[in-house]
Structure 1
Amino acid sequence: MKPRLVLFDIDGTLLTAHGSPKIAMGRVLLRRYPDFNFDRDFDFSGRTDPEIIEYLLEYDNREVSDALIADILREFCIELDIELAQGEKPELHPGVVELLTKLDAMPDISLGLVTGNVAEGARIKLKAASLDTYFPVGGFGDDSKYRDDLPPFALERAEKYYGKKFPGMNTWIIGDSIHDIRCAQNNRLRCLAVCTGWTSRENLIKENPEYIEDDLSRIDHIMNLIYDGAQK
């Protein structure tokens, strides 16, 4: 059988970090801009970290530059690490540990990430949730602020790390947002959408995902999708 690569999103797919990222970002922005209007709710599902920072700064009429965004994200990761160490741990979604354990045990399946988190932020969240050992490679928000750009980074790193080639028909993106679905479609990859994030099933279905599940708890069914839906 040809090797398969399964690329997971993090927030809303594997786990929910509750208010920790918002608290950490609030500290950073309010330290820089004491009058920053941070008391607003936005739907950032599927967005990259640099994209989110750019939006917040522009919405609050602040100057924006790539260097500034990078500095803010470095400070954010420090604060996020502190907040997750002291506050509430991330909540794992149903089936996550069981599915990852089963996938990780299969010799023809390799794991990675496609996430809008910058690499350090992803590491911090996954470590806090005890999931960090499953994902040696990925595509991250510090590779590009555009989510559609991330799969090639993940694929290149996966092929180098695992020493295998992963055809598009055997590479999966699993995520909870419309942007995960579009990212898979625009890169001609397989897609499994899950309804554990902040996007309704109805809105996910409108994007025509290849498959959709309420969560990741139907382990055997999802394994069958990954195997039966891929090239032999």
Structure 2
Amino acid sequence: MWSSGTSMSSAVTSSTPRTTWANIVTWAIPVNHHSALERRPASQCALSAHTPAMPLPRTVTHDHASCASSRVTAGDGSCRPRAGRMSHAVATNFEIVALFDLDGTLLRAGDPIHRAAFEHALRVVFGTAASLGDLELAGQLDLAIAARALARQGLDASRDDLRVREVMTIMGRYYRLRVGAGERENWVLDGVVDLLRKLRAAGVATVVASGSAREVAAAKLASAGLSDYFPAGAFGDEAEDRPTLLRHAVSAAGKVYRRGFALANAVVLGDTPADVLAARAIGARVVAVATGRFSSDDLDEQGPDASFPDLGNADAVIKAILRG
């Protein structure tokens, strides 16, 4: 979950609706600003692109996450990106796709608002004082965490899938309500932005593979200023286990980058043993980083292809990612 499919999504509205904690609704968290909005026929609507910092052999333009919710139609029938969306081109030189865990890898782990949102949603939907308490959260998916929390209350989540899905929705809305633009920028771990910039310049495809529910993960990335580096991803409310999550992420990358990625050419970057084991389960390579609750020794016991104390040495990490 916060220790660690399908493009990223966000909701944008023009005003702040009246809200109560028991029935939270979403309003916009401004993410990025863009200029020179491109006007096109609605039938061909896609986000406009800007050129990468260095020329790359193969460039494809894609709709940034969840295009249907990221565009608006003008009175003349043309379409434009919705306010607060950043459009960009995706260029890739390699067959490699890097799958980044979120909490503990890109951002500092242990988000208290995520926990509060989770417990609030469980109370609203199930009317129970379900608490995450001492549950092991590192490397876990939000769906699985919800099932375990409910099981402690004598409830079987597998028999009430619709209400569990409602928990995920309310949790996402609560989180967006509580975390504003820029409030997670100081949660970005050392070396992350430099690494992402260099991967983009080198033409390496990047997607997020997070145990957090989609709306929570999207809000975290937006608030941290990292959304533009991850045009797609897979999330903890859309998979039952982490190997499936990674498969979803590779599939999402293929749709966005418009090329097939073999699982053997996927490289997982994560901070828990669960990340290493899941990568091995699908035949992917894995780079472990000890920026979460597990030490380098803990991670090395699982046999990653490479491990680092943090992502501060971007060149070394990129070398490990590209090493086939």
Taking structure 1 as the reference length, what is the TM-score of the superposition?
A: 0.90
Which of 74, 78, 103 matches 1:11?
103
Aligned to 1:46, what secondary structure does the other structure show? coil
Which of 101, 121, 144 matches 2:197?
101
Aligned to 1:192, what secondary structure does the other structure show? strand
Residues 39 and 117 of structure 1: CA distance in aligned 2, closer, same or farther (over 3 Å): closer
Larger C-alpha radius of gyration, 1 or 2?
Answer: 2
Corresponding position: 1:177 with 2:281: no
Show the counterpart of 2:134.
41
- Which consecutive unaligned segments of at least 5 residues does structure 1 have? none
Residues 215 and 63 of structure 1: CA distance in aligned 2, closer, same or farther (over 3 Å): same
Corresponding position: 1:89 with 2:184: yes
Deviations 1:86-127 (A, max 9, x none): 9953611110111011111222x1111222122222111100
1:70 is displaced (CA, Å) by: 0.5
Identity, in percent, stands at 28
- Alignment coverage as a number of residue pairs: 228
Which of 235, 244, 248 matches 1:140?
235
Retained in 1: the 8 A contact 2:183–2:224? Answer: no
Show the counterpart of 2:315.
220
Retained in 1: the 8 A contact 2:196–2:229? Answer: yes
Read off the aligned partner of 1:92 and give its amino acid letter: V
Instruction: Tell me, in whole angstroms, the C-alpha distance in 2 between the residues paired with 1:130 and 1:39.
Output: 28
Retained in 1: the 8 A contact 2:183–2:223? Answer: no
Which of 87, 107, 120 matches 1:27?
120
Residues 58 and 106 of structure 1: CA distance in aligned 2, closer, same or farther (over 3 Å): same
Retained in 2: the 8 A contact 1:9–1:114? Answer: yes
1:177 is displaced (CA, Å) by: 0.9
Read off the aligned partner of 1:197 and give its amino acid letter: G
Which of 204, 209, 225 matches 2:299?
204
Aligned to 1:85, what secondary structure does the other structure show? coil
Read off the aligned partner of 1:134 and give its amino acid letter: Y
Which of 164, 167, 172 matches 2:259?
164
Show the counterpart of 1:76.
171
Deviations 1:32-86 (A, max 9, x none): 4665152723221111110011111111223422212111110000111112129
Report the aligned-residue RMSD.
Answer: 2.1
Residues 172 and 219 of structure 1: CA distance in aligned 2, closer, same or farther (over 3 Å): same
Instruction: Tell me, in whole angstroms, the C-alpha distance in 2 between the residues paired with 1:153 and 1:22.
Output: 25
Corresponding position: 1:150 with 2:150: no
Deviations 1:174-204 (A, max 9, x none): 0011111011100100100111112233322
Read off the aligned partner of 1:126 and give its amino acid letter: L
Between Structure 1 and Structure 2, which shows a larger proportion of helix residues?
Answer: 1
Taking structure 2 as the reference length, what is the TM-score of the superposition?
A: 0.66
Show the counterpart of 1:67.
162
- Which consecutive unaligned segments of at least 5 residues does structure 2 have? 1-92
